[in-house]
Structure 1
Amino acid sequence: MTGRARNVVIANNDFATKAATVLTSPTSFVAGMGLSNILNDRLKMVCRTIGSSVILDLDMGYPVPISLIMLLGHNFTAAARWRIRGARARSGAASDAGGYSFALSDTVYDTRSILVSGTARGGYSWTSTMLDHDLTSGTLPTGASFSRASTATYFDFTGTMRTAASGEARFDYDPVTKTARGLLIEAARTNLVTQSADFSTGWGATLLNITAGSGAAPDGSNAANKLTATAVNGQHAVARNITAAPNAAYSFSCFVKADGYSVVSLLMDKDAAFVDRLTAEFNVSTGTITSAAAASGSASGASASIISVGNGWYRCTIGGTLSSTAGTSVRCIVYVNGQASYTGDNTSGLLAWGTQLEAGSFPTSYIPTAGTTATRAADVPTMPTSALPSFNGSAGTLVVASSQYVAGSSTGQLVAAEIGDGTNNNVIQVGTQFGSANFQYLVQSGGVAQAVLLETSFTGEQRRAASWAQDNFAYSRNGASPLTDTSGAVPTVTTFSMGCRPSGTDQLNGWISRITYIASRVSNADLQTLTNPATSAATRAATLAVYAGTEAVQPITLGTGSKTVYVDDQNMRFYAGARVRLSIDSSNYIVGTVTSYDRPSRRLVVSIASVVGSGSAAAVTISREAADLAVWPAVEPFGLTYWGDFRWGGQIDLLGEGYQPPGVHMPGLANGDGQPIYARYLKIEVQDSSLSWLDIGRLVVAAAYQPTINMTWDWRIGWTDPSQRERARGGQIYVDGRKQWRVASLQLANVGRDELLSQVYELRRAVGVRKPFALILDPTDPANLHRLTLWGSIPDQTMDFSNPQFGDYRAALTVEEHS
C-alpha cells in the first residue's frame, strides 16, 4: 500500500494464516466453535466466545508490513468498538483458559492513542500592509473604480486596435512587440476631423485617385484608403479645412502604409493661406523622419513623430502652434510621395487611414469619427484610502512604474499618482510640475507646501518612489540616491488616484505598469532597491516581504462549536471521529471529535462536544481521549432509513440471508499517510455491549498492493441473488430464498509493464480461482469501507492481461464474494 490513498487496494491474507494466534475472553469460548475456525476458509465455521468482548493476540514471527486488518463472518452490531495495536516486541505472557495473552512493548501503532499528547495553536491572523499590483495583468487593484464617459481605443495583445466601452479600463499593448504596457490613462481630447477613416468624403483630392476598402487598417477592418498618384505632373495630395482656432497648439496625425511609394508629407496651415504653416516628411518604409518638422510664418513649436503600429503601418504626426493671432480654420494636407511635383503612374501610392486633428502639442489614442467630431472623455481610476491595506495618516510609501507621451506640459500637469482629498490643499503627489518639464514629489497640507522635491522629467518607463512621515520625506527614481526633506507635516487625505488627480484632472497621458503602496515609511536604501531597473524580481520580492504585513497569533477560546487549530508536530496523526482534548490546564479544557485533519498543513478541525471551565490561550495541550473506534462509522444517523446503516442488525445469519459487511481497518488510512505499519505482534480487542456472545468467522491480516495509477472509470459492484422464484397456478409467487453475494469488476490501465507483471500477474498466479483475497474499491471512504470491501475470489479460470498500445499495459479483474 502506498501514499496514493484514492487507489483501489488488493490484499491477500498473507500473515494471519501463518500467525501463532491466541483468542482470549473474560470467560471462555464454546467447544466446537473454537479458535481454529477463524483460519478456516468456510466463513460459517465461526469461533464463538461467551461474553461481550474478545482479544486476538497475533505473533507473525517477524516484523511484517500490515496494510489491512479485517474480520468477517461475525455477529457484531452497531455498538461494536475495537482497539488495534501493533508492536515489535512483547513483555511476558499470562496464561488463561484460551491460551495466553501478552503485553506489548515497542508499540508502533495504537488506534486508541495514535497521538499521546502535543501542542496545538490557534493559528495566525495576517494583516496586509501593502498593495503591490501589476497593471500589465489586465486588472485593477481590489477596491479601485474606473470611469470614462465615452468609448476609447487601445491595442490588444494581438497588436490590433480595439474599442473599449464607456467606463472600461484600457490595458494596452505595444502593437509591434505585443508587450503589455499596462493601464492607459489619457486626458479628454476631441478629433476635429469629421471623417477620420474615409478620404472619399469631405477631403479634396489633387491629382489623386482615392479607393476606399483597399486593405486591412490597424483596427483589422477593410477600411484602408488607397491614395494613388495620377499620371499628371504636379503635387499629389488630399486636404480639408477644419473649423478651429489656430492660435493654439494642435497635433495632426494619420496612419500611413507604403503601397508603391514610401514618402508622405503632412502639413497644417492657418486659414488655407500657406503662410503660417507646419510641415514634416516621413518615410513609412524605414520608419524615419526624412525632413524635420519646420514652422513658417508666425507658426511655432514645430514637432514631428513617427511610430510603428505593426503590419507596415506607421502613425505620422506633426504638431505645433500655427499662429499667435486669431483665425477661423486649420487646413490639413497629406502629400503622397512628398511635396515636390512629379508625374505618377496611376498605380503607385500610399495606404492611409485614421486622421486626427486634436488640440494639444502631442497626439493621443485614435478617436474615430463618421460625420461629426467625437470626444474621448478623460480616464479616471481612483480608490478610497480605506481600500488601501492598513492605510494610516501618519506614514507611507508609494512606488509607481509609468511612462508618458511627453516629458511635461506647458499648460498643466502630468500626474503619475496622487493621494489627496480632491483639492489642492492636501496632496501627496508624484507628477510633473505645473507648466514645466520638471518632475516633482509634492506634499501639501492645509494649502501649504511641506515638501517639494524636483528632478528633470523623462519619457520612457520610469520607476519612482516617494515616502512620507512627519518631518521625513524622500524621493528616488530608477535607483538614484534619494532626495530628502526633513521638515513638514503629513496631510489628511481620502482618495488614491492612478495616472490623474483625485479630482479627475491632469491625466498622465501614458501608461502605468505597476503600482505599490506600503503603509509605512520605507528606508531610503529600500527606495533605491525598489526603483532600480536592475533589481531582480527575487530581490524586489524579498525587499517587499519585509513590509508585506503583520502576523498575530490567534488564541484558542474554550467554547462549543467547531474549532480549528494547528498542531506543532507534523508527525502527530489524527483520523476522523477520534476524540481529542484541548487543555489550557487540568481544570479548563474542551473535548470533541475530529472532523478533519490535513497533515501537510497540520490543520485540525474539531467538533466540540463538552466544555469544562473557561478561558483562552495562544497554545494548548492536545491529547487523544481514551476511546475505541467504531467498527463501522455511519454515513447516515443509525436507523434514519429502513434500508440504511445497520438496519441489517449486524447479526450473523446462519440461514444464509441478509447483509454481513466486514469490519475493516487500514492503518494507513487512520494515520493519514497511506503507509503500512511494520509490526511482529498484533493485538485486536473487540467489545460489543449489546451482545452476550461474540462470533468471528474469519481474520485477515495482510500487506496490500495499490496500483500507481487508479482503476479506470466504469468499475462495477452489485448483488447476485440465486434465489429461485416460482409462480403458482393461482398467481402467487413463491421464493426459495438463498444467500446473496456481491460481484465487483474493474480494469487497470496504463500500468507499467514491470508493475503489471510483478504485482497483478503474480497475484493471479498465487490465488488462482482457489484462494480468496480482499478487494477495496475506495480506501478513502471510511464510512463506506465495509460496503466497498469484498472478500472473495476470481470466478473463472482466466484473468485478462493485455497490451493494446505502446506503453499501455492492462488487467481486467472480477471478484466474486465468498459467503
Structure 2
Amino acid sequence: MSVAAYLAAAGLTGSNAGADFQNDKYWLPSADALSAPRWASQTEFFALFSRASSATYIDASGVLRTAPADAPRFDYSSGGRRVLLEGGATNLIVQSVGMNSPEWSTAQIVRTFGQPSPDGQNNAVLCTVNGNVDPQVSVTLASGNPSGLTYTFSAWIRVVSRNNNELRRARLYSFGYPNGGGTEAVADVTLNITDEWVRYSWTRTFPAGMTSTLVRWRVDPFDGSDGVNQPSAGSSIAVFGWQVEASPFATSYVPTTSSAASRAADSFALPTAFGGVLSLPAASFLLRFDGSKEVGSNAYISGSDRYAGGNSSGTSVLLVGGTPNINMGNISVPTGPLGIAIGWDPGSKAGSVNNRVAVSTGTTVSINRSTNYLGRNSTGSVANSGYKLLAAYPARLSDATLQALSGT
C-alpha cells in the first residue's frame, strides 16, 4: 500500500511525517519539510532514541519481556501496541527475583521456588498455607524514614489452589518499625485476586511524624475468607515481581537481585525530518496516547518548551505552544486516553483535546524547535505513558479539523 493510500484510510490525509505505533507504520518527508511523505523504517524513526539501561515491557502474548539498553519498548499492557516511554525508577525491594534473602520472611506458609512466572521463566514462588492462623509472606526494606513520602507497591499474584473454597482474596499490609519497638502507621488494602496472573498495585502516602527506618510490605493469602484468617492447609497462591518505588503510580517492573536496582529514563528525540515539519512557520500535529497519571510540568511533545503538556498542582492543565500558552482545559489525573491536535501559523495557534472545541489565540508558537522529543521535555522530565499515534502536517489545519482529529 502506498503511503498516501494508508494515510487516507487512517484519516490522516495531509500528514507528511509521523508514526502509527499501534500498527508499526512510519513516514517522513521525501525531500524537504513541505514534500510528500515516504515510508520510513522503524530503525530510521527511532535512530535518536536512547535509554541507558535495559527495561521490561509486556509483549503481544502477555509475557513480560526485557528490552536491551537503547531499544524502544512496544508494550501491550493497555490492550494494544504502544511505544512505552517512562522516566527513571528504582525498585527498592531486594531479591525480587527469587524472594529468598534475609529481607524476606514467612509465617504459616511453605515456599516453593522455581515456579512458572509471567516472564515465561520459572521465577515465581508458590506460597502454600499450612492451616494455621494468619499466613503471610513479607519483605522488610531499610530504605529510610518514609514519613510523609509516597510509595507504590506492585506485584503479580494468582490463586493456584483453594482446598476449602476460600475467597479469591489477599490482604496487602504496610507498616513501619520505630526505633522504640512495635509497629506504626499500619494500613492495609484488600485485593480480589484471580486464577490468572494479574499485576496489582497499591499507592500509599505514609503519615508525617514517623520515626521508622524499616518498612514492611506483607501479603496475607486468602485473608478475609473466615473470621479468624485461617485458610485450609494446602491452599496456595503464586507471587512474582514485587516492586516498591517512590512514585504515585506503578511503572514497569525492575528486577532486583542482591540490592535495589534502577531503570534509566527513556529519551525519544524525534527524527530530524519530523522536526523539520514542526519548524515550519505554519504546521500542525496530532498526538494520541494513554494519557497522564501525574501532575506537574510534564511534556507530551516538546522542543525547548512544550508544544503540549500539563502544568498544575492539582489538575492536568493542557497547554499549547510555549509562551504565552493556551489552556485547553483542566482534566483530572489520571486523565485516561488523550487525543491532542495543535496547529499554528505566523498569526495564530490553536489546540483541541478529546474532540473539544478548539481554543485559539492570535499569537504563534514560540518554541526553539532544533530538537523535538516525544514524551518528555528538553531537560529530561518524562511524561510516563504509552503512545499510540503521532502525525505532523506541513500546514496550519483549521480549528474544526483540529477538533475532529483530537479524538482518542
TM-score (normalised: structure 2): 0.82
CA–CA distance in structure 2, aligned partners of residues 401 and 530 of structure 1:
10
8 Å Cα contact 2:223/2:229 also seen in 1: no
By how many angstroms is 1:185 displaced? 0.6
CA–CA distance in structure 2, aligned partners of residues 224 and 405 of structure 1:
31
8 Å Cα contact 1:172/1:184 also seen in 2: yes
1:171 maps to 74
1:394 maps to 281
Runs of 4+ residues deviating >6 angstroms: none
**Given the alignment of the two structures, is residue 283 of structure 1 paired with residue 170 of structure 2, yes or no?**
no
CA deviations 1:26-74 (Å, max 9, x no partner) are xxxxxxxxxxxxxxxxxxxxxxxxxxxxxxxxxxxxxxxxxxxxxxxxx
By how many angstroms is 1:514 displaced? 0.6
2:169 maps to 263
Identity among equivalent positions (%) equals 25
Which residue among 365, 383, 389 is the counterpart of 2:270?
A: 383
CA deviations 1:218-252 (Å, max 9, x no partner) are 101122211111122x2111122202231210001
Within a 5 Å distance, the mapping from 1:258-657 to structure 2 comes to 258-261=159-162, 262-271=168-177, 273-285=182-194, 312-325=196-209, 327-338=212-223, 341-383=228-270, 385-404=272-291, 406=293, 408-409=294-295, 412-418=296-302, 420-421=303-304, 427-444=305-322, 448-457=323-332, 459-487=335-363, 490-505=366-381, 507-533=382-408
1:581 maps to none
CA–CA distance in structure 1, aligned partners of residues 15 and 292 of structure 2:
33
CA deviations 1:141-187 (Å, max 9, x no partner) are 63751111111100112211100001110011138x5x32x100111
AA partner of residue 395 (structure 1):
A
Q: Which has the larger radius of gyration?
A: 1
2:139 maps to 240
8 Å Cα contact 1:403/1:461 also seen in 2: yes
CA–CA distance in structure 1, aligned partners of residues 292 and 321 of structure 2:
25
CA–CA distance in structure 1, aligned partners of residues 86 and 135 of structure 2:
35
CA–CA distance in structure 2, aligned partners of residues 437 and 140 of structure 1:
37
8 Å Cα contact 1:254/1:315 also seen in 2: yes
Instruction: Summarize the Cα distance change of 1:450–1:174 in structure 2 as closer, same or farther, 3 Å threshold.
Output: closer
8 Å Cα contact 1:443/1:452 also seen in 2: no
1:210 maps to 111
SS of the residue 2:324 aligns to: strand
CA deviations 1:701-739 (Å, max 9, x no partner) are xxxxxxxxxxxxxxxxxxxxxxxxxxxxxxxxxxxxxxx
Instruction: Summarize the Cα distance change of 1:275–1:402 in structure 2 as closer, same or farther, 3 Å threshold.
Output: same
1:16 maps to none
1:155 maps to 58
CA–CA distance in structure 2, aligned partners of residues 141 and 455 of structure 1:
36
1:219 maps to 119
CA–CA distance in structure 2, aligned partners of residues 197 and 392 of structure 1:
47
CA–CA distance in structure 2, aligned partners of residues 469 and 270 of structure 1:
57
AA partner of residue 299 (structure 2):
V
By how many angstroms is 1:510 displaced? 1.2
Instruction: Summarize the Cα distance change of 1:137–1:144 in structure 2 as closer, same or farther, 3 Å threshold.
Output: farther
Q: Over aligned residues, Cα RMSD in angstroms?
A: 2.4
8 Å Cα contact 1:197/1:223 also seen in 2: yes
AA partner of residue 480 (structure 1):
R
Which residue among 16, 22, 31 is the counterpart of 1:136?
A: 22
CA–CA distance in structure 1, aligned partners of residues 43 and 312 of structure 2:
28
CA–CA distance in structure 2, aligned partners of residues 246 and 184 of structure 1:
29
AA partner of residue 270 (structure 1):
G
Which residue among 95, 103, 106 is the counterpart of 1:195?
A: 95
SS of the residue 2:404 aligns to: helix
SS of the residue 1:212 aligns to: strand
SS of the residue 1:449 aligns to: coil
SS of the residue 1:529 aligns to: helix
By how many angstroms is 1:279 displaced? 1.6
8 Å Cα contact 1:393/1:490 also seen in 2: no
AA partner of residue 189 (structure 2):
A
Instruction: Summarize the Cα distance change of 1:171–1:395 in structure 2 as closer, same or farther, 3 Å threshold.
Output: same
CA–CA distance in structure 2, aligned partners of residues 377 and 316 of structure 1:
23
2:165 maps to none
CA–CA distance in structure 1, aligned partners of residues 109 and 204 of structure 2:
27
SS of the residue 1:532 aligns to: coil
8 Å Cα contact 2:175/2:215 also seen in 1: yes
AA partner of residue 335 (structure 1):
D
Instruction: Summarize the Cα distance change of 1:208–1:320 in structure 2 as closer, same or farther, 3 Å threshold.
Output: same
By how many angstroms is 1:135 displaced? 1.2
AA partner of residue 130 (structure 2):
T
8 Å Cα contact 1:385/1:391 also seen in 2: no
8 Å Cα contact 1:270/1:322 also seen in 2: no
2:5 maps to none
Instruction: Summarize the Cα distance change of 1:129–1:209 in structure 2 as closer, same or farther, 3 Å threshold.
Output: closer
Which residue among 139, 149, 155 is the counterpart of 1:254?
A: 155
8 Å Cα contact 2:338/2:407 also seen in 1: no
**Given the alignment of the two structures, is residue 146 of structure 1 paired with residue 49 of structure 2, yes or no?**
yes
8 Å Cα contact 1:388/1:517 also seen in 2: no
CA deviations 1:240-292 (Å, max 9, x no partner) are 2202231210001111001224211111112365431332111112xxxxxxx
SS of the residue 1:204 aligns to: strand
CA–CA distance in structure 1, aligned partners of residues 152 and 365 of structure 2:
42
CA deviations 1:67-120 (Å, max 9, x no partner) are xxxxxxxxxxxxxxxxxxxxxxxxxxxxxxxxxxxxxxxxxxxxxxxxxxxxxx
AA partner of residue 85 (structure 2):
I
Q: Which moved more, 1:448-457 or 1:511-520?
A: 448-457
CA–CA distance in structure 2, aligned partners of residues 491 and 183 of structure 1:
25
Instruction: Summarize the Cα distance change of 1:532–1:357 in structure 2 as closer, same or farther, 3 Å threshold.
Output: closer
Instruction: Summarize the Cα distance change of 1:386–1:397 in structure 2 as closer, same or farther, 3 Å threshold.
Output: same
AA partner of residue 157 (structure 1):
A
CA–CA distance in structure 2, aligned partners of residues 315 and 391 of structure 1:
39
SS of the residue 1:345 aligns to: coil
SS of the residue 1:343 aligns to: coil
8 Å Cα contact 2:52/2:265 also seen in 1: yes
CA–CA distance in structure 2, aligned partners of residues 324 and 396 of structure 1:
49
Greater fraction strand: 1
Give the unaligned 5+ runs of structure 1: 1-127, 286-310, 422-426, 534-819
TM-score (normalised: structure 1): 0.42
8 Å Cα contact 2:17/2:393 also seen in 1: yes
CA–CA distance in structure 2, aligned partners of residues 450 and 437 of structure 1:
16
8 Å Cα contact 1:393/1:491 also seen in 2: no
Within a 5 Å distance, the mapping from 1:35-46 to structure 2 comes to none
